[in-house]
């Protein structure tokens, strides 16, 4: 009887150490200064590439099109939570994207711009 209890104790006692939870948060891209309410307004036909760079910093990408230049700003945030049990594991991941796109003509003057609907809160 004692041997059976010893074997049971050796099997059951370590089981809680085989379970656990984890959460992780990651960020990629540039800071989303375009969501800052104190930022001066950008105006089509007046704002220049230099104005946008001064306000937002370097873009994630600069894309040269036939007769215009595009500044693409991207902010990505991911949150992952996991639960590890002996016979069941679960992982959930949520990824949020925040984007700003600015188009400039050959004179470096902004012709149009747009922000994504999904917004990651701006952090100062």
Angle at 100 between CA 97 and CA 106, to 5 degrees: 150
- pLDDT at residue 98 in the model: 92
pTM of the predicted model over 0.85: no
Distance CA 81, CA 52 (A): 36
Token digits of residue 122: 């701006």
- Tell me the range of 5-19, 34-48, 79-93, 108-122 where mean pLDDT is highest: 34-48
Residue 110 sits at the vertex; the CA angle it makes with 63 and 45, to the nearest 5 degrees, is 160
* Separation in Å, CA 50 to CA 55, 71, 83, 112: 9, 11, 48, 15
| pLDDT confidence of residue 52 | 97
The more confident residue out of 6 and 80 is 80
CA distance 118 to 100: 11
Of the listed ranges 14-18, 71-75, 77-81, 115-119, the one predicted with least confidence: 14-18
Q: What is the pLDDT of residues 41-92, one digit of tens each?
A: 999 999 999 999 999 999 999 999 999 999 999 999 999 999 878 788 888 9
List the domain boundaries for the chain.
18-115
Mean pLDDT of the chain: 85
């Amino acid at each position: 009887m004692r041997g059976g209890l010893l074997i049971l104790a050796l099997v059951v006692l370590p089981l809680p150490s085989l379970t656990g939870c984890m959460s992780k948060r990651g960020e990629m891209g540039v800071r989303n200064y375009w969501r800052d309410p104190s930022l001066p307004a950008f105006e089509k036909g007046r704002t220049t590439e230099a104005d946008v760079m001064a306000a937002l910093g370097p873009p994630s990408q600069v894309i040269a099109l036939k007769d215009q230049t595009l500044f693409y700003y991207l902010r990505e945030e991911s949150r992952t939570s996991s639960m590890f049990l002996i016979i069941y594991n679960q992982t959930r991941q949520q990824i949020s994207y925040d984007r700003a796109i600015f188009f400039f003509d050959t004179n470096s003057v902004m012709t149009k711009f747009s922000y994504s609907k999904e917004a990651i809160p701006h952090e100062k």
